Amino acid sequence: MELLTGGQMLPRLTDRERYYPRYCENDIVTVARSLVRALAHLHLHGIAHRDVKPENILYFSESKDPTVKLPDFGIADTNAHNVNATDMVGTPQYIAPELLL
């Protein structure tokens, strides 16, 4: 992976003084589209990331460019089509609600 100097998404969502103004609608759409494409590509190849969260979304640069990358495959599963839906892995605050039932 190339060097990503833009940092994590979390500070851009929470540090209002440093990253003001907040996201515009076009930036949100660009980031969401990139993440959905990345996850679709992973799932097409049988990989489940299992820990998507703002801390695991990195920006390419510190500029306003909303290009993001999805790293941290430490708990990814390479058998995504057969992942047991009851496996409790990932960061608790971001686990799918249906896994908590």
Q: Which residues are catalytic?
A: 51
Rounded Cα distance, 29 and 59, in Å: 15
Rounded Cα distance, 18 and 88, in Å: 35
Rounded Cα distance, 8 and 62, in Å: 10
Q: What is the DSSP string of 8-33?
A: BHHHHHH-TTTT-S---HHHHHHHHH
